[in-house]
Every structure is written in structure tokens, then in C-alpha cells.
């Protein structure tokens, strides 16, 4: 079973990487850019074939390793 | 106009970060995990209000700064 995970910084948490991208884009001459936020995108496959069980397994992975639950949100999408 | 960009390594390009995640998850006791690939996820706002123009502006940003077109694919989603 395939899954996609989006890990993003919580609203209000400063995103220096996003700010750096914004500054670099402005430096390249792009105008009108704002609110740049960078997150992580992880794709993986699990052998579990029950979608609910796969989701709870991936949720555990996010809690234990993939995300920092203090500063980051994660969103799990289990694909057929 | 808000947009989301997914930047992923092209198929066939070795993903050491993905391999490291896979190894760490296995080390934590998770089994049956495979094909872990890590990419980037960028959210930004552009002042351009025409969706087609916003998309072509963001496409240019990907080509010039955000992605490495030799090794990476990007996918742009312009939101209303």
C-alpha cells in the first residue's frame, strides 16, 4: 500500500528556509512573492493491506521519527 | 494567488535521504517498508491573479531556483 506524507511547520513557527527562498526569488527579480513555506514530502510503501491499519502504522512513524510533533504538522494520504 | 509545489527526485535517481529514513524506520522495529522517497514541498503566494500567468511564473521559479531540472521533477498546483 502506497502512502504520501506532507510534513509542514505549524503556523506561527518561523520558517528560515522559506524566508531564504523568498529572498533568493526576490533577488532573481521575481516580485509579489510572499508567505513562502517549505515542508517535506515523503512517499513510501507499507506491506500492510488494510488502509486503516496502514494509516495508524504511518501515524506512529510520524510521531516517532518523521515529524517533530512540537513544531510540525503532518498529513497522511493512503493510496489504494 | 496561492500555489503548492512538489519537488521529487526523478525515478532512477538514488535517494540517500529516503534510504536513511527506511533504515531508521526498520531500526525502530517497523517492518514491510519499502520505496521511501523524500521530496520537498513548497507553499507560496504570488500577487499575479491570472492562474495561467501565475503558473508560468512559478514554472520559471522552479527552473531557475527551486528545482534541479536534471535530477528532479516538479509539480505545480495553483489554488483559487
The domains found in chain B, sorted by start residue, are: 2-78 (3.30.1280.10)
Nine-digit cell string for B65: 531556483
Q: Do A40 and B43 touch (CB under 8 A)?
A: no
Among residues A50, A45, A67, A74, the alpha carbon closest in space to that of B30 is found at A45
Report the complex ipTM. Answer: 0.92
- Within 10 Å of residue A18's Cβ, how many Cβ atoms? 18
Averaged pLDDT for residues A4-11: 97
Under 8 Å CB pairs connecting chains A and B tally to 100
Task: Share the mean pLDDT of chain B.
Answer: 97
Q: What is the distance in angstroms between the Cα of B57 and the nearest Cα belonging to chain A?
A: 8
Q: What is the SS3 assignment for A80?
A: coil
Instruction: Give the model confidence (pLDDT) of B17-53 as tens digits.
Output: 999 999 999 999 999 999 999 999 999 999 999 999 9
Averaged pLDDT for residues A16-23: 97
Instruction: Give the model confidence (pLDDT) of A44-54 as tens digits.
Output: 999 999 999 99
Q: Do B45 and A34 touch (CB under 8 A)?
A: yes
B61 interface with A at CB cutoff 8 Å: yes
Would you report the helix, strand and coil content of chain B in percent, each value rounded to 5? 35, 35, 30
Closest residue of chain A to B26, computed from CA coordinates: A61
Going by pLDDT thresholds of 50, 70 and 90, the confidence category of residue A80 is confident
Closest residue of chain B to A3, computed from CA coordinates: B36
Amino acid at each position: 500500500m502506497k502512502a504520501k506524507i506532507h510534513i509542514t511547520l505549524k503556523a506561527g513557527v518561523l520558517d528560515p528556509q522559506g524566508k531564504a527562498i523568498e529572498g533568493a526569488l526576490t533577488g532573481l527579480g521575481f516580485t509579489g512573492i510572499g508567505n513562502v513555506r517549505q515542508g517535506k514530502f515523503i512517499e513510501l510503501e507499507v506491506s500492510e493491506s488494510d488502509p486503516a491499519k496502514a494509516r495508524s502504522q504511518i501515524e506512529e512513524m510520524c510521531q516517532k521519527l518523521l515529524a517533530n510533533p512540537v513544531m510540525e504538522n503532518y498529513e497522511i494520504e493512503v493510496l489504494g
